[in-house]
Amino acid sequence: MSPQRGRFRVRCLVMLAIPAVAWSLPWDEDMQNQPSVKAQESVVVTSSESVPVSDRELFAAPDGLIELVRARLVAGQTLVNPIAQSPESLDRGRQLYEVHCLVCHGAQGQGDGTVGQKFVPQPMDLTLDYVQLQPDGQLYYTISHGSIAMPYYRQAIVAEDRWNLINYIKEALGPDE
């Protein structure tokens, strides 16, 4: 065997061994072993130095469907909308509707939004008497804690804005009188 051929073999072995050594070093699993929160997991506990949240929830999150329905009925009997319908409230409600609700419930609130068409069951038609005749507190609870297929928005929409959204749903999407 010629010396050049021997050096070539040694170089090839070294080139093949480098990746194997690099993979065995401890940093190859850093991304796997980091603390992370998966989608729909509970909120990570924050330190006392973090930015405080001003809203306190009026009702705890339900544990199941039966508790969700019961709590929604109680909320309808006990919660009163503190935000009067005004042009400012309706405008804010419209803005929130366009950001959070339109993709599922559609521009007219009929449950025909582009994303909502893919859901089973279909999103609720917000123009129906079933929705329009619900007490504001019941709608507040549904927005805050979700429903069968609807996600909750208690962490995405502050309490005052939820009331503005309800004003918009009842006024702008309600029956024309």
R_g of the chain computed on alpha carbons: 27
pTM confidence score: 0.68
Q: Is 11 contained in some domain?
A: no
> Domain containing 165: what range?
65-172
115-141: per-residue pLDDT in tens?
Answer: 988 888 899 999 999 999 999 999 999
pLDDT score for 11: 85
CB 134 within 8 A of CB 126: no
Q: What is the pLDDT of residues 14-34, one digit of tens each?
A: 777 777 666 666 655 666 666
Q: Point out the residues of the chain with pLDDT beneath 50.
A: none
Q: Which structure tokens are listed for 151?
A: 């996600």
Q: What is the pLDDT of residue 124?
A: 93
The total of other beta-carbon atoms located within 10 Å of residue 162's CB is 25
- Position 55 in a domain: no
Q: Let me know if residue 148 belongs to a domain.
A: yes
DSSP states of 78-129: H----S---HHHHHHHHHHIIIIIHHHH-TTSSS--TTGGG-SSPPP-TTSH
CATH number of the domain that residue 107 is part of: 1.10.760.10
Distances in whole angstroms, Cα of residue 84 to Cα of each of 95, 96, 134:
17, 17, 17
Residue 130 maps to a domain? yes
Is 166 inside a domain boundary?
yes
**Beta-carbon neighbour count of residue 51 at 10 Å?**
6
pLDDT at 28: 59
Residue 36 DSSP SS3: coil
Instruction: Compute how many other C-beta atoms are within 10 angstroms of the C-beta atom of residue 173.
Output: 22
Residue 42 lies in a domain: no
Listed residue (111, 175, 114, 173) closest to 147, CA to CA: 111
When divided into structural domains, the chain yields a total of 1
Q: What pLDDT sits at residue 25?
A: 60
Is residue 140, in this structure, part of any structural domain at all?
Answer: yes
Residue 13 confidence (pLDDT) = 80
* pLDDT in the model for residue 16: 78
Q: Is 89 exposed, middle or buried (0-12, 13-18, 19+ CB in 10 A)?
A: buried
